């Protein structure tokens, strides 16, 4: 023990005698979901468990045929057929897969606990390359042949040539970068602990600006002209002019918004606390519809025809596909 | 209740008064991890489930009656029962939580429990105002855990977070009066003993609270002036 620690040492004996106590896990009531829910846990396992199994998936990606789901506490990714919902396979990856991205031919996964990203074959989930990325990689974005990786622990983003897995550079951003979106020639990064977003020039990683948003920014999406940021602790989304960085508006959404995605016409937001997905009109932020999901929707995905949400409160996804 | 009767109640309930062992090897120091309080508590930086940065001593302990324990959200051992019991304590104490008593649950697995996850957990279990779920850098949490004595004597067991110490510590920082009891103890007894820590109105008004010059005296009935 360091000498400093002795300054506040408690009578440890009184505390150390504790024995673990078994107990039932607390659960809360849920409203019936509107979206179809697909469990990622085999029925036999789910039936045997005395509490909700906890893959706690956060991230989704779409390869054109299948939706991929990263099950962070199962250290695996699941592959679901996007039109019939059947699970085509579950493949082992690294420790705590937190993010996914599809690069046009392969799926990338960020393994937060292993400090690396892996490139997977879509056919069988085989790992074709593993690239070390320091600092707890937890967010991915792909565009223009480049995979961007945000590392929460060392406040940086790393640029990787997807086709070759070559690391092209690492660039500083704000504290706890946690969400990213590519907007034209720029990369926007949500700095969760700074309540800001950083705009980087994708070509060379130069910071072009930093914009203040709400509390706990976490998700980022681009609608073609504007960047949308979900603010977890403010229960809002912020709309920013991508070309100038000017804040255009802030709209109230549900409880604890996380994932945000543009569906070609509207912005959709996953409210992890409300267990809903909202559809917002882009020009004025009016909520056009709200649908119920599973517990704790986190990552959102738009396949072109359906919305998918990863339910991090359990081990399932919710979808409008069928 | 006099001291002997109170001590007897501690013994019957399985709770134990604990003593703070202070070193006398020099003045409080300042360093990158934060300074030490006059009582020897480190002023380390944590982050709450509300997304706020807080200092362990200045914001969480100083001048307060606190209930403190370590947990993690995916724990399926001692934590659910402890949290369930603290929820009952919260119900018993009612509005006094957040006014007279503050609950602090510190995650043993900060990498698994970022503020967003703690926020979701707090909502899921039904924690109310005055109950903070806290996370921080791994080394900071570890330093707190060890410093506060939540350590198993067997190093191998101590490494295994799933077998972590399931005690709840509560006390009055201004009085330097602390009690620890198992997280599975009776919530009613815990609540009763926590209330023993709450200062009487005259103590709040300036008799014994040395640390918070801005503290507003609370009059009988909970009203402030």
Give residue-wise pLDDT tens across range B157-206.
898 888 899 999 999 998 888 999 999 999 999 999 999 889 876 665 55
B202 assigned to some structural domain: no
Query: Residue A42: what pLDDT?
Result: 64
Hey, is the C-beta of B19 within 8 angstroms of any chain A C-beta?
A: yes
Please tell me the distance in Å from A75's CA to the nearest CA on chain B: 13
Q: What is the pLDDT of residues A81-99, one digit of tens each?
A: 999 999 999 999 999 999 9
Residue B11's domain comprises 3-20+37-194
Q: Which of A11, A23, A216 sits opposite B18 (nearest CB)?
A: A11
Query: Residue B32: what pLDDT?
Result: 35
DSSP string, A272-313: TTTTEEEEEETTT--EEEEEE-SSSEEEEEE-SS-EEEEETT
Please tell me the distance in Å from A94's CA to the nearest CA on chain B: 15
B221 assigned to some structural domain: no
The residue whose two tokens read 């660039």 is A171
Q: What is the pLDDT of residues B9-52, one digit of tens each?
A: 555 555 666 654 433 233 333 333 445 555 578 899 999 999 99
Look at A233 and B51 and tell me if their CB atoms are within 8 Å: yes
pTM of structure: 0.79
B167 assigned to some structural domain: yes
Query: Residue A35: what pLDDT?
Result: 81
Burial of A9 (0-12, 13-18, 19+ CB in 10 A): middle
B223 assigned to some structural domain: no
B207 assigned to some structural domain: no
| Residue B190 DSSP one-character state | H
Q: b or e along B158-184 (b: 16 or more beta carbons within 10 Å of the residue's beta carbon)?
A: beeeebbbbbbbbbbbbeebbbbbbbb
Q: What is the pLDDT of residues B78-109, one digit of tens each?
A: 999 999 999 999 999 999 999 999 999 999 99
- A313 chain-B contacts, CB cut-off 8 A: 120, 124
pLDDT above 80: residue B223: no
Look at A20 and B25 and tell me if their CB atoms are within 8 Å: no
- Tell me how far apart the alpha carbons of residues A110 and A150 are, in angstroms, rounded to a whole number: 9
- Tell me how far apart the alpha carbons of residues A202 and B46 are, in angstroms, rounded to a whole number: 33
Count of CB pairs separated by less than 8 Å, A with B? 149
Chain A contacts to B (CB-CB under 8 A): 1, 3-12, 14-16, 18-26, 28, 51, 54, 73, 96, 112-113, 136, 193, 215-216, 218, 232-233, 255-256, 258, 272-273, 296, 312-313
pLDDT above 80: residue B224: no
Please tell me the distance in Å from A163's CA to the nearest CA on chain B: 31
B75: nearest CA partner in chain A = A25
B78 assigned to some structural domain: yes
- B79 chain-A contacts, CB cut-off 8 A: 23
A25: nearest CA partner in chain B = B80
Hey, is the C-beta of B199 within 8 angstroms of any chain A C-beta?
A: no
- B101-107 and B65-71 beta bridge pairing: parallel
CATH code for the domain of B180: 3.40.30.10
- B41 chain-A contacts, CB cut-off 8 A: 8
ipTM of the complex: 0.70
Burial of B22 (0-12, 13-18, 19+ CB in 10 A): middle
Mean pLDDT per 10-residue segment, chain A (322 residues) = 33 29 32 70 55 75 97 93 92 96 98 97 97 97 97 96 98 97 97 97 97 97 98 97 97 97 97 96 96 94 96 90 88
Q: b or e along B23-53 (b: 16 or more beta carbons within 10 Å of the residue's beta carbon)?
A: eeeeeeeeeebbebbebbbbbbbbbbbebee
Q: How far apart are the first and last CA of chain B?
A: 28
Look at B80 and A25 and tell me if their CB atoms are within 8 Å: yes
- Tell me how far apart the alpha carbons of residues A289 and A299 are, in angstroms, rounded to a whole number: 18
B172 assigned to some structural domain: yes
- Tell me how far apart the alpha carbons of residues A169 and A161 are, in angstroms, rounded to a whole number: 10
3 state SS of A15: helix
Tokens of A306: 């359906």
B40 touches A3 (CB < 8 A) = no
- A58 chain-B contacts, CB cut-off 8 A: none
- Tell me how far apart the alpha carbons of residues A113 and A105 are, in angstroms, rounded to a whole number: 25
- Tell me how far apart the alpha carbons of residues B103 and B83 are, in angstroms, rounded to a whole number: 11
B18: nearest CA partner in chain A = A11
Counting the structural domains of chain B, the total is: 1
Query: Cβ neighbours of residue A42 under 8 Å, at least 6 residues apart?
Result: none
B220 assigned to some structural domain: no
User: Residue A90's closest CA among A39, A133, A132, A141?
Assistant: A39
């Amino acid at each position: 023990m360091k000498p400093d620690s002795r300054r506040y040492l408690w009578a440890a004996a009184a505390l150390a005698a504790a024995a673990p106590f078994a107990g039932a896990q607390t659960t809360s009531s849920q409203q019936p979901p509107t979206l179809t829910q697909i469990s990622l846990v085999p029925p036999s396992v789910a039936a045997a468990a005395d509490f909700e199994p906890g893959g706690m998936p956060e991230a989704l990606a779409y390869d054109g045929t299948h939706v991929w789901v990263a099950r962070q506490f199962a250290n695996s990714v699941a592959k679901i057929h996007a039109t019939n919902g059947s699970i085509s396979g579950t493949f082992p990856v690294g420790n705590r897969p937190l993010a996914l991205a599809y690069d046009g031919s392969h799926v990338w996964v960020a393994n937060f606990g292993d400090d690396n990203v892996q490139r997977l074959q879509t056919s069988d989930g085989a790992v074709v390359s593993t690239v070390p990325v320091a600092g707890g990689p937890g967010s991915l974005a792909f565009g223009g042949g480049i995979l961007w990786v945000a590392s929460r622990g060392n406040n940086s983003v790393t640029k990787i040539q997807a086709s070759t897995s070559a690391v092209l550079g690492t660039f500083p951003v704000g504290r706890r970068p946690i969400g990213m979106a590519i907007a034209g020639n720029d990369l926007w990064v949500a700095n969760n602990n700074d309540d800001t977003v950083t705009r980087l020039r994708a070509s060379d990683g130069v910071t072009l600006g930093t914009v203040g948003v709400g509390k706990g920014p976490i998700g980022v999406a681009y609608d073609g002209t504007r960047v949308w940021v979900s603010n977890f602790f403010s229960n809002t989304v912020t709309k920013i002019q991508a070309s100038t960085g000017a804040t255009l508006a802030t709209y109230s959404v549900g409880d604890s918004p996380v994932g945000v995605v543009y569906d070609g016409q509207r912005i959709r937001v996953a409210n992890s606390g409300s267990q809903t997905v909202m559809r917002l009109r882009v020009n004025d932020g009016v909520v056009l519809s709200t649908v119920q999901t599973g517990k704790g929707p986190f990552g959102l995905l738009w396949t072109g025809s359906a919305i998918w949400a990863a339910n991090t409160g359990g081990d399932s996804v919710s979808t409008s596909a069928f | 209740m006099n001291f002997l009767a109170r001590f007897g109640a501690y013994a019957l309930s399985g709770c134990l008064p604990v003593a703070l062992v202070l070193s006398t090897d020099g003045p409080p120091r300042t360093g990158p991890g934060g300074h030490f309080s006059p009582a020897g508590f480190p002023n380390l930086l944590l982050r709450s489930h509300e997304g706020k940065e807080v200092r362990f001593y200045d914001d969480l302990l100083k001048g307060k009656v606190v209930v403190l324990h370590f947990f993690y959200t995916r724990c399926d051992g001692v934590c659910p029962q402890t949290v369930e019991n603290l929820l009952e304590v919260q119900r018993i104490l009612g509005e006094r939580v957040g006014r007279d008593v503050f609950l602090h649950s510190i995650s043993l697995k900060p990498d698994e429990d970022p503020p967003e996850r703690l926020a979701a957990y707090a909502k899921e279990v039904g924690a109310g105002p005055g109950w903070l779920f806290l996370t921080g850098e791994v080394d900071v949490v570890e330093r707190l855990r060890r410093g506060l004595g939540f350590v198993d004597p067997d190093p191998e067991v101590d490494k295994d977070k799933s077998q972590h110490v399931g005690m709840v510590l509560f006390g009055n920082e201004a009085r330097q009066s602390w009690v620890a009891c198992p997280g599975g103890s009776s919530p009613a007894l815990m609540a009763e003993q926590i209330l023993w820590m709450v200062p009487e109105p005259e103590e709040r008004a300036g008799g014994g609270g040395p640390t918070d010059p801005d503290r507003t005296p609370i009059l009988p009935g909970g009203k402030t002036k």
